[in-house]
Structure 1
Amino acid sequence: MSTEQQHREARLTERVVASFDATPDPRLREVMRSLTRHLHDFVREVRLTEREWQQAIAFLTEAGHVTDERRQEFILLSDVLGASMQTVTVNNEAYGDATEATVFGPFFTDGSPAIPLGGDIAGGAAGEPCWVSGTVTDTAGNPVAGARIEVWEADDDGFYDVQYGDDRVAARGHLVTDAAGGFRFWAITPTPYPIPHDGPVGRLLAATGRSPMRASHLHFLVTAPGLRTLVTHIFVRGDALLDSDSVFGVRDSLVKDFARRPPDRPTPDGRDLGGRPWSQVRFDIVLAPANPAAPANP
């Protein structure tokens, strides 16, 4: 490439960056200037062709057409590029032994059913019963009473309730920790499932030889006054997809032992499962302070 060509490209980048100099909001100014530099650097690094640029515009246009109140193709794109997980990582700085965060996912809904301690979130969803228990503490080890725990998951067929389109509410609920910070509930044993892959993001994965499958997991959203809100999952130890989760959500610290129990094994709460096998997992949650002055033991 000639020196003159390099100068032309660099001058264009600088002109576009400078166009944001008068942006009143300093944070918006910083973001737009940096975004412009990185975007132009990408175009120049890969020597993007005009045909490739047109294909990219068509891809984004189709993603917009696919997106509706039940499906967000742009979040899916962010997920498979690891941008969602990187944003989570940046915004949940390591603090002591606080539980690690992971991606939120597109299937959370407000207004989940309240269940008592020891209740069942399944709501008729297909799957093997799973007893989940643990505690919520702060990083000093103090129990957090009254913490709200939202839980949700896919059923044994690999679908969340909102994917069925019939207004069912299943495999989701919320509960509150007891005075000792304890919680316990019945769910269903997580199983692998594919992210929606019948649209442009799915074609991107296929073209790059990547699988749409997510490792088996159970979602948690934990909130308590004065403590950092935690969005996380727990994953099933031994799952073959732990190293290839399509949205890069797996953290080693979140892989748990889901102990398989035979039908004749008594359940922790004496529940009669009608001769079905079940599983059992413990998940102790540690919440960081809401606004820590500095990371503890980074």
Structure 2
Amino acid sequence: MSGAHENAAERERAITEEVLAAFSATPDPRLRAIMRSLIGHLHAFAREVRLTDREWQTAIAFLTRAGHLTDERRQEFILLSDVLGLSMLTVALNAPDTPGATEATVLGPFFVDDAPEIPLGGDLAQGAPGTPCHVSGRIRSTDGSPVGGALLDVWGADEDGLYDVQYPGEHCAGRGRLRADPDGGFRFWTVLPTPYPIPHDGPAGDLLTACGRGPMRPAHLHFKVTAPGHRTLITHLFVAGDPHLDRDAVFGVRDSLVVEAEHHEGGTAPDGSQPRGAWASMTHDLVLAPDHGSAPGR
């Protein structure tokens, strides 16, 4: 290495060491460890790719756009985390190592706190367009015992691939919360999920296009299940046969979460009703891991 290169490398290392030293007195030990690791990897990345001023400015503008797009209805930073696989990696890092528990997947950007509660067996579609779909199953623990009274938050897109929060106004459709019965059983009506593109008119979509990737997600329903003494489960049920199962834009598909949707024409539904025209049904049990306490930072 020439003298000029040695001087440049030494200057670069000195900058990183100076920044690391500035964070070395961070009082919280976990924050200190995170920041020192982040700085070390971030500086190493910039050195490895020889980041130019123009590229750095482009990155700042990219993140600024993401911030401007983010509001109570759209979370562009979650989309970026999703398409980079960081969301699923975080899920994997924090998933309980409990054999038999339902696999977790990404929360996504469309979860809403305090969705309306519906009665067991009720209709959370609330006018969302699509083929009616009856969904049922049981919540149980890994030891096989039922988890009665578990709280389920459920949300999904309509037949046009849109969530209620993507429409103007405050109408709530295609989402709700319900309680499992004493035997852990749950059942409700919604609309049959369809594949859809994640919002791709912003920085996350631009990134996918630049990298030759598509924005599609396979058809799925979201679930968040909570119960005392158990780890909260955030997962999806994916519709078997969807053409996008092997190229989910956010890497969320797990084989164990792929469920057959049975298609019907008239007849009698599991709840004894007589649907008119086409409808569908899905059934799948959800298994919660026991909560033995969380590791630091989880």
TM-score normalised according to structure 1 size: 0.94
**Corresponding residue for 1:280?**
281
SS class of match (1:60):
helix
Structure 1 unaligned blocks of 5 or more: none
Query: Does residue 11 of structure 2 align to residue 8 of structure 1?
Result: yes
Indicate conservation of the 8 Å contact 2:268/2:275, yes or no: no
Alignment of 1:170-209 (within 5 A): 170-209=173-212
Q: For 2:132 and 2:117, locate their aligned partners in 1 and report how far apart those are by CA, in whole Å.
A: 19
Select 1:253's aligned residue among 240, 253, 256: 256
Q: For 1:184 and 1:97, locate their aligned partners in 2 and report how far apart those are by CA, in whole Å.
A: 22
SS class of match (2:62):
helix
SS class of match (1:19):
helix
SS class of match (1:105):
coil
String of CA shifts for 1:42-83, please: whole Å, max 9, x gaps. 111111111111110111111111112211111111111111
RMSD: 1.5
Q: For 1:144 and 1:236, locate their aligned partners in 2 and report how far apart those are by CA, in whole Å.
A: 25
Select 2:131's aligned residue among 103, 128, 142: 128
Q: For 1:278 and 1:10, locate their aligned partners in 2 and report how far apart those are by CA, in whole Å.
A: 64
Select 1:264's aligned residue among 263, 266, 269: 266
Residue 12 of structure 1 deviates from its aligned partner by 2.0
String of CA shifts for 1:57-110, please: whole Å, max 9, x gaps. 111111111112211111111111111111111111321111111111111112
Q: For 1:259 and 1:192, locate their aligned partners in 2 and report how far apart those are by CA, in whole Å.
A: 17
Indicate conservation of the 8 Å contact 2:266/2:279, yes or no: no
Structure 2 unaligned blocks of 5 or more: none
Query: Does residue 250 of structure 2 align to residue 242 of structure 1?
Result: no
String of CA shifts for 1:96-126, please: whole Å, max 9, x gaps. 1111111111111122222222211110000
Alignment of 1:111-126 (within 5 A): 111-126=114-129
String of CA shifts for 1:125-150, please: whole Å, max 9, x gaps. 00111111111111111100100111
**Corresponding residue for 2:111?**
108
String of CA shifts for 1:11-41, please: whole Å, max 9, x gaps. 2222211211111110110000000011011
SS class of match (2:177):
strand
Amino acid in the other structure paired with 2:266? D
Q: For 1:41 and 1:75, locate their aligned partners in 2 and report how far apart those are by CA, in whole Å.
A: 25
SS class of match (1:218):
strand
Q: For 1:168 and 1:17, locate their aligned partners in 2 and report how far apart those are by CA, in whole Å.
A: 49
String of CA shifts for 1:177-197, please: whole Å, max 9, x gaps. 111111111111110111111
SS class of match (1:135):
strand
Query: Does residue 295 of structure 2 align to residue 289 of structure 1?
Result: no
Q: For 2:173 and 2:72, locate their aligned partners in 1 and report how far apart those are by CA, in whole Å.
A: 19
Amino acid in the other structure paired with 1:225? P
Select 2:216's aligned residue among 185, 198, 213: 213
Q: For 1:174 and 1:220, locate their aligned partners in 2 and report how far apart those are by CA, in whole Å.
A: 10
Q: For 1:70 and 1:179, locate their aligned partners in 2 and report how far apart those are by CA, in whole Å.
A: 35
Select 2:91's aligned residue among 80, 84, 88: 88
SS class of match (1:151):
strand
Q: 1:292 to 1:27 in 2, by over 3 A?
A: closer
Q: For 1:106 and 1:64, locate their aligned partners in 2 and report how far apart those are by CA, in whole Å.
A: 14
Alignment of 1:25-104 (within 5 A): 25-104=28-107
Aligned length: 292
Residue 229 of structure 1 deviates from its aligned partner by 0.5
SS class of match (2:187):
strand
Q: Give aligned-pair identity as a percent.
A: 61
Residue 176 of structure 1 deviates from its aligned partner by 0.9
Residue 272 of structure 1 deviates from its aligned partner by 2.4
Residue 293 of structure 1 deviates from its aligned partner by 8.8
Alignment of 1:158-173 (within 5 A): 158-173=161-176
Q: For 2:60 and 2:141, locate their aligned partners in 1 and report how far apart those are by CA, in whole Å.
A: 46
Amino acid in the other structure paired with 1:114? E
